[in-house]
A and B are shown apart, each in its own frame.
Chain A
Amino acid sequence: MADSIKSPPGISAQSVLSGVLNLGRGYVKRLSSGDLGALPILIGLIIMTVVFQTQNGNFLTPRNVVNLILQMAGTTMIAYGMVFVLLLGEIDLSVGYVSAVGGVTVAMLLSDSRTGWTWYTAIPLALLITAGIGLLQGLIIALFRVPSFIVTLAGLLAWNGVVLRLVGRGGTVIIQDPLVIGIANSYLAPHTGWGWLVVGVFVSGYAVTQGVQYLTRRTRNLSTRPLPVIIVQTLLIGGIGVGVVAVCNQDRGLPMVGVLLLVMGVLLTLLAKNTRFGRFVYAVGGNAEAARRAGINVNRIRVTVFVLASTLAGLGGIILASRLRSVDTRAGSGNLLLNVVAAAVIGGTSLFGGRGRVTSAILGALIISSLENGMGLLNVEAGDKFIITGIVLLLAVIIDSLSRRRQQQSGLA
C-alpha cells in the first residue's frame, strides 16, 4: 500500500483519525483492485445471524453455538486440505469419499475389540491409507499429466466403491472406542478453565505476532497499518475468542475438536505463509511455468499437496465418523464435497489458483454450517435448502470471478 499509511508513534486523536482514514482509503483501493478480504464473509455472517436470530431465538443459544462448532468441524478439516489444492489451481473431487475411507477404516478396525486394534494404531493407519490415496492420485496427475478434475472424479467413484465394499451389507458400523467417539464428543469442561487457557494462549499469541510484525516492519521502514487499527483488530479477535469460550462454557464447554481446528489452522497457516513449501504452492498456483523456470520441482509440490489434502480429508472423515458414532454406506456422499469446495471458495480461496488463505476454510465452513444450522432451526424444506445453498455458492464464485477480473484489469493499468 501507500507509504502514507505510516503513522507516528505518538498517538494523538488526529493521527488516529488520519490513520483510520488512510486505512479506509487503502482498503477502498484494495477493494477496487479486487482484493475483497474477509468483508463479504463478515457481512454474510452478520446478515445470517440477524435473520436466523430474529426468526428463531435459539440460533445464538450456548447449545447451538457448541453444536455449530461441532457441525462445522469435519467440513473445515477437509476444507483445509482443499484450500491447498485450490491454491495450486487444481481440484480434488475425491475428498468426500477419501474422508469416508478414513472414517470407515478406523470404524472397521475398532468394531471388534478382539482383533487387537486400538485407536493409536487404527487412526495412524487410516491417515496413512488416505495419505497413500493422495499419493496415488497426485502421482497420476503429475506424471501422466491427466487433469486433476478427471483423476479425482475417477477417485470419487473408486473410493465410493471401496467404502461400499468395506461397509458392505452390514449397512452401518457403530463405533464403540471411547477415544474415537471422544474426538467429537469431549469438551474442555467449563469449571476447569482449560477453555480460558486455550483462548488466552491463542489471543496472546496473535497479539504478540501482530506486535512483533508491526515493530519489525516499522524498523525496516515498511508500510504498516496504523497501530490503533491493529489494537482494535486484536481486541476484536480477543473479544470473539473470549465470547466463544464464555458462551461455550454455559453449555458443555469448548469442544476439543474446536481446539483441534484452531491448532491445525495455525499450523497450516504457518505452513502456507512461512515455509518454502507454502511459497512454492502459491508460486505453482500463480504461474506454474514461472515456478518451473525458477527450478521448483512442480510435480513434487503437486503430489505433496494432494497427499496433504487426502490426509486432512482422512482426519476430517474420522471427525465426521466420531460425531455420527458410526459409519455407513452413505459415508462421504451427499453434499460433503460440495460443502468443502464451497467453504474454501466462500472463504475467499480462488478456484483459479494462487489466491487464498488457510483461514478461508474456517470462515467458509462457518458460513456454510451456519446456513445449514439456521435453516434446520427454521425447518426449511429440503428443496428450499438446496436453492438457498446454491445461491450462496453461486454468489461466492461470482465474487471470486469478479475480483479476479478486477485484479487483472488493475494489473494491466
Chain B
Amino acid sequence: MMQIQRWIGTLGLVLLFGAARVTAQAAIEIAVLLPDSATSARWEHDDRRFLAAAFDVAGVRYSIVNAEGDRQTQIAQAEQAITNGAKVLLFVNLDGGSGAAIIAKAREAGVRVIDYDRLTTQGDGSDYYVSFDSAVVGWLQGEGLIRAIAAAQADGMIGAVPKIAILNGSPTDNNARLLAQGYHAVLRPLFESGAWELVAEQDVPDWDNQQALIIFEQMQTNNPDIDAAIAANDGLAQAMIAARMNAGLPYIPLTGQDATIGGIQNVLAGRQSMTVYKPIQAVAEAAAALAVALVRGTDTSRLLNGVTDNGTNDIPSVLLEVVTVTADNVASTVIADGFRTWAEICVGEFAQYCPPEAGQNG
C-alpha cells in the first residue's frame, strides 16, 4: 500500500509540474490542433516535426497539441488556444460538425482558421485550406492504372477488355470518398464505353487490411480472372498482393498511394505498379508559411493558388502537388526528399531490386 501511495504522490507531482509548464507556455500566436495518432503515424511523426521546424525558423510562438481522436478534446483545445491569445488556428478536423463548431468559436474571437489537409465541409468553412488534393491523388492512381494496363496489354499479359477490382478506403473517411471520386473520374469513361469491365468494388471498413484480404479473396473466388486493381492505399494494395501470392496467382497491375515502405518495396519488386507520394514536408511548410504571414499581417495572395468549394463558400486554398512514384523515380522523389531511405527499403530480398547506389547509402 505504501508503494501505491508513493506512486500516486509521484504521479501528482508530475501532473503538477506538467500543468505548470503548460501555463508557462501561455501567450502563443499560432496553435496547431492535430487529430489523432492512431489512424496514421504521419501526424505525430511527420507533421509535428515539419511544422515545428518551420515555426522555429520563422521565430513565432506556437503550440502543437493532439486531440487523440476525441472531438470534445479538440474543441476544448481550440478554446484554450483562443484563451491563450492565438491569432491563427491551424487544425485538422475530426469531423464536419466539430470542425464547424471550432471555426465558429474562432471567428467569434477574431482568430483566423486554416483547414490543414482536411476540408471542413459543414458550416461556412474556414478562412483558408492547405492540402494535397485528395481528388488529384485518386486521379493519379487512375492514370497510373491506365498506363500499367497499357504496358501489360502490350506484353500480351492482359486481354482486350481488362477486368478491374477496386478496394475503396473506409466508408467513414471523407478522404477515401475524395480518392474514389478521383480515380472514378478517370476510369468512368472506360467502364461506360465497355473498354474496361468493373467486376468488383468494395469499401474496406476502417482501412482494415485483414478484412481487405478476405474481401479481395472473395472477389477472386467470384472472379478468378481479375486483371488489374486499384487499392485506396498501399496497405490495401499489400493485402491484394498477399491474396494473389497466397492463391499462387501472378501479380497484376495495381495502384496504391501513401508511399509506405512496404508500398515502395512492392513497387520496386514489380508487385505494385505505382504509389502516390504526398510530400508532407511541403504541405507542412506551406501551411506554416501561410500561418506566419497571417500572424505578421503580410500579403498572403502570393502563397494562395486556388479556391476550394466546401459546399457553402469558396475557400482560398494552397493546393500542393502530389507525386506519382514508380520503380523508375523512387530515387528522385521519396529518397531525394529524405522521406524514405534506401536503408529501410532495401532489406532482404528487396535489395536485389534496388539501384547500385542504394547499397552505398544503406
Give chain A's interface residues, CB within 8 Å of chain B.
56, 58, 61, 63-64, 67, 70-71, 74, 111-114, 160-161, 164, 167-174, 176, 184-185, 252, 320, 323-326, 328-331, 333-336, 372-373, 376-377, 379, 381-383, 385-386
| Selected contact of A172 from candidates B200, B261, B349, CB within 8 Å | B261
- Residues of A close to B217: CB separation below 8 A: 67, 71, 376
B241 touches A171 (CB 8 A): no
- Residues of B close to A160: CB separation below 8 A: 38
- Residues of A close to B347: CB separation below 8 A: 111-114, 176
A288 to chain B, nearest CB (A): 23
Given the complex of chains A and B, what is the CA–CA distance between A336 and B209 in angstroms? 11
Given contacts A111-B348, A328-B209, contact A376 B246 (CB under 8 A): no
Give chain B's interface residues, CB within 8 Å of chain A.
37-38, 40-42, 45-46, 171, 200, 202-211, 213-215, 217-219, 221-222, 234-235, 238-239, 241-242, 245-248, 258, 260-263, 265-266, 344, 347-350
Closest to A181 in B: B245
- Residues of B close to A64: CB separation below 8 A: 218, 221
A66 to chain B, nearest CB (A): 9
B203 touches A382 (CB 8 A): yes
Given contacts A70-B246, A377-B221, A377-B222, contact A170 B260 (CB under 8 A): yes
| Selected contact of A376 from candidates B210, B214, B262, B349, CB within 8 Å | B214
A170 touches B209 (CB 8 A): no
B210 touches A74 (CB 8 A): yes
3 nearest CB pairs, A to B:
A172-B262, A171-B260, A376-B218
A56 touches B242 (CB 8 A): no
14 CB-based A-B contacts, threshold 8 Å: A58-B221, A64-B218, A70-B246, A160-B38, A168-B41, A169-B42, A170-B260, A170-B344, A323-B246, A324-B213, A330-B209, A331-B209, A334-B211, A376-B202
Number of A-B residue pairs having CB atoms within 8 Å of each other in the complex: 142
Closest to B4 in A: A144
B85 to chain A, nearest CB (A): 32
Given the complex of chains A and B, what is the CA–CA distance between A173 and B40 in angstroms? 15
Given the complex of chains A and B, what is the CA–CA distance between A63 and B217 in angstroms? 10
| Selected contact of A386 from candidates B40, B205, B242, B248, CB within 8 Å | B205
Closest to A112 in B: B347
Given the complex of chains A and B, what is the CA–CA distance between A325 and B269 in angstroms? 15
| Selected contact of B261 from candidates A171, A252, A335, CB within 8 Å | A171
A383 touches B171 (CB 8 A): yes
Given the complex of chains A and B, what is the CA–CA distance between A329 and B236 in angstroms? 12
- Residues of B close to A386: CB separation below 8 A: 205
B219 to chain A, nearest CB (A): 7
- Residues of B close to A168: CB separation below 8 A: 41, 45
Taking chain A's interface residues, is the majority helix, strand, or loop, or is none over half, making it mixed? helix
A326 touches B218 (CB 8 A): no
Given the complex of chains A and B, what is the CA–CA distance between A56 and B42 in angstroms? 41
Taking chain B's interface residues, is the majority helix, strand, or loop, or is none over half, making it mixed? helix
Given contacts A172-B262, A372-B214, contact A335 B208 (CB under 8 A): yes
- Residues of A close to B234: CB separation below 8 A: 171-172
Closest to B344 in A: A170
B202 touches A382 (CB 8 A): yes
Known: A67-B221, A185-B246, A382-B205. 10 other contacts (CB 8 A): A170-B344, A173-B262, A174-B262, A252-B248, A333-B208, A335-B211, A373-B214, A379-B200, A381-B203, A382-B204
Given contacts A170-B262, A170-B344, A171-B260, contact A330 B208 (CB under 8 A): yes
Closest to A72 in B: B214
Given contacts A328-B235, A334-B211, A382-B202, contact A169 B262 (CB under 8 A): no
Closest to B199 in A: A379
Given the complex of chains A and B, what is the CA–CA distance between A329 and B206 in angstroms? 12
Given the complex of chains A and B, what is the CA–CA distance between A328 and B209 in angstroms? 8
Given the complex of chains A and B, what is the CA–CA distance between A331 and B350 in angstroms? 22
| Selected contact of B222 from candidates A58, A170, A173, CB within 8 Å | A58
A382 touches B248 (CB 8 A): no
Closest to A376 in B: B218
- Residues of A close to B45: CB separation below 8 A: 168-169
Given the complex of chains A and B, what is the CA–CA distance between A173 and B350 in angstroms? 12
A242 to chain B, nearest CB (A): 23
B215 touches A324 (CB 8 A): no
- Residues of B close to A56: CB separation below 8 A: 222
Given the complex of chains A and B, what is the CA–CA distance between A320 and B203 in angstroms? 20
- Residues of A close to B213: CB separation below 8 A: 323-324
